[in-house]
Structure formats: C-alpha cells, structure tokens
Amino acid sequence: MSPNTTQQPLTLTLGHLYPDQLNLYGDRGNILTLRRRCQLRGIELRVVGLGVGDALAPDEYDMLFIGGGQDKEQAPVADDLHEMKGIGLWAAIEDDMPVLAVCGGYQLLAHYYRPAEGPDMRGLGVFDAWTEHKGTKVPRCIGNVAISWNGQTLVGFENHGGRTYLGTAKPLGKVLKGNGNNAEDQTEGAIYRHAYGTYLHGSLLPKNPHFADHLIELALQRKYGDRAITENDLFNGNHTNKAAEIGATVLELQKTTVSPLLTPLEDSLEWEAHASMLERLGLYSEAATILRTHKS
Ligand code: GLN
C-alpha cells in the first residue's frame, strides 16, 4: 500500500439487503448508527439498497446488513436469496466480510424457517441452525432482552414466533434476560466467521456502541489492513486524551473498548440507554458496571 493512500478519506460501502421487505422495529436505525459512528471518525459510509431482483457482487461491498420481517415478507426474500444473492453472499462471508442479520434475516441465513402456516422457507445455511414456528397458539418470544457477549452485555428487543436451534453454529451470546433463540437453551443468535445473526431488534446498534464499533473495525481491517489503521491518526491518535479525560489508563480504556484501534466516541447517552435497559431487566450490577466503566 503506497504511503499516501492512508491520507485519502477512508470509505466503506454497506449493502442493505431488502430495505423495503425486511425492516421491523427500527432495523434501519442500525444503518444510521453505523453511518454516524463512521462519520465521527472521518470515514464515509456509503449505503446501497439491494432489493428483490438485484444481484450481489461481493467486491462492491465492505459490510452487509439484513433486517427482520413478518413471515409473509420473508417468503419472497427466501426465494430471491437463492436465485439472486446466495453465491455473492457466501463468497463475501467466506472472505470475512462483516454481516449483521437480524431476526427474520437471521432465520433465512440458517438452513430453513418453518413458519406457522405455509411451506418451509429454504435458508442459505450460513449458520448451522434451523428455525421452527411453534404455531399461533404458542406465545411469541416478545420483550426486552440482555445477553452476555465478549465479556460485556448486549441489549435489545425481540418479537419472533420462530424458535431457532443451533447445530454446530456458535451462539452470539448467552441469554441473561429474555428468550433468545428458543426460550429453552439460553443461547442467542449465531456466529459464522464475521457473520452475526441475532434476534435483537430495537434497533440493536444505537444502545450497543461497542458492537457497532466491532463491525466497523472488522470492515476497515478487511479493506485497509492493520497498517492503514495504525498509520492513520484518525483512529488511535487520542486514546491518551480520552483516558486522561476519564481518569483511566490507556490500557484500562482499551480493555473496556471492543475496538482498541478506533478512537473512542462520547457515548455517555448510548451507555445510559444500555444501562437503563439492564436496570429495567433487573440486571442492576451489570448496569452499575456499565455506568462505572463508561461514565462521562
Ligand atoms: N417472522 C419471523 C418470526 O416470527 C421473524 C420475525 C421478525 O423478524 N421480527 O419468527
């Protein structure tokens, strides 16, 4: 990489799959959050919508997002995923592109979704898991959720009839409060390489800035490589200032930040929202840790 490339403004391109069909419970908020957190670091995040009938050329994107939807919206998407996007999506995932798939989108990246009524929807099998709806007489999995992830917590809102069971797929996290994948085995979501499936709507990323930064960092490292990141003072220049500001050592700061390379942002509002969700779920000590660690 020639020395002057890192001075170019950094750009990332996000492919938003099925923005018109799969967008429940504020899923679009995830895109707004990624764009804002990039912008605050001088990175331009371009967002391209990919609807039914659009092909997916993996080289054109650095990250992908697919939201949730009702059974009737998922059926045409399932067919299109196979006919138009499957090969490109697999190639992107096998090449470690970060992908966030929420609820209905998550279900369609596993082997299949058996809805309450109608035929099974074939999934892409990225996650070794499957989903079955228990029927309209069985209560849906609805409510606020908290899970443990990477030694930290993720919070969000879930509303799904389908129950997902993991085969060899690694869960995204362990349920602290809520239903998660199936209200039985305390697993939530699934991970394959840098593809993350989750039932956490809400939307997920505004109240989980550490997870948003994790996805941004994966995309930057994949596109620019570590050298570009470390050479670019946009990213690690002022850890020292932030640490001094909150009276912590750089090491302590980096320990609390999932993405040690990205300059920390002023996230007190995000962490207050995160902590208040934990308190609402009765997870007081977790909430206290969050407020202590991320005090403004
Ligand atoms: N329709 C699916 C289910 O009910 C997914 C719902 C969603 O995306 N919120 O399980």
Ligand 1: distance of its center to the CA of 69 in Å?
Answer: 6
Residue-level pLDDT at 193: 98
How many angstroms separate the Cα of 264 from the Cα of each of 14, 46, 208, 211, 241?
22, 22, 13, 13, 10
Cβ-contact 162, 117 below 8 angstroms: no
Note the pLDDT of residue 233: 47
For ligand 1, the distance from its centroid to the CA atom of residue 19, given in whole angstroms, is 15
Has 38 been annotated as catalytic? no
Burial of 205 (0-12, 13-18, 19+ CB in 10 A): buried
pLDDT at position 242 is 53
| Percentage of the chain modeled with pLDDT above 90 | 75
Asked if 141 is an active-site residue, the reply is no
Q: Band of the pLDDT at 248, cuts 50, 70, 90?
A: low
What pLDDT score does 225 carry?
A: 80
Measured in angstroms, how far is the CA atom of residue 113 from the centroid of ligand 1? 10
Give the position, in ligand 1's atom list, of the atom nearest the Cα of 107: 5
Query: Which residue of 142, 160, 163, 182 sits with most ligand 1 atoms within 8 Å of its CB, as the best mutation to test the pocket?
Result: 160
Q: What is the pLDDT of residue 3?
A: 47
**Active-site option among 16, 201, 214, 294:** 201
For residue 243, the model assigns a pLDDT of: 58
Q: Which residues pair with 12 in a beta bridge?
A: 45
Range with the poorest average pLDDT among 220-234, 245-259, 270-284:
245-259
CB-based pocket (< 6 A), ligand 1:
24, 68-71, 74, 103-104, 159-162
Q: Which of 16, 38, 103, 111 is catalytic?
A: 103
Distances (CA, A) of 78 to 35, 209, 247: 27, 30, 50
Residue recorded with tokens 């505004």: 206
**Cα separation of 144 and 274, whole Å?**
11
Residue 251 has pLDDT above 60, yes or no: no
Reported as a pLDDT band with limits 50, 70 and 90, residue 245 is: low
- Residue 257 or residue 173, greater confidence: 173
Q: Ligand 1, closest atom to CA 70?
A: 1
| Ligand 1 center–CA 163 separation, angstroms | 10
Give the atom of ligand 1 at the shortest distance from the alpha carbon of 201.
Answer: 9
Q: Which residues pair with 175 in a beta bridge?
A: 147
Residue-averaged pLDDT of the chain: 89
pLDDT at 237: 46
Q: What percent of the chain has pLDDT over 70?
A: 85
pTM above 0.85, yes or no: yes
pLDDT digits (tens, 9 = 90+) for 40-68: 999 999 999 999 999 999 999 999 999 99
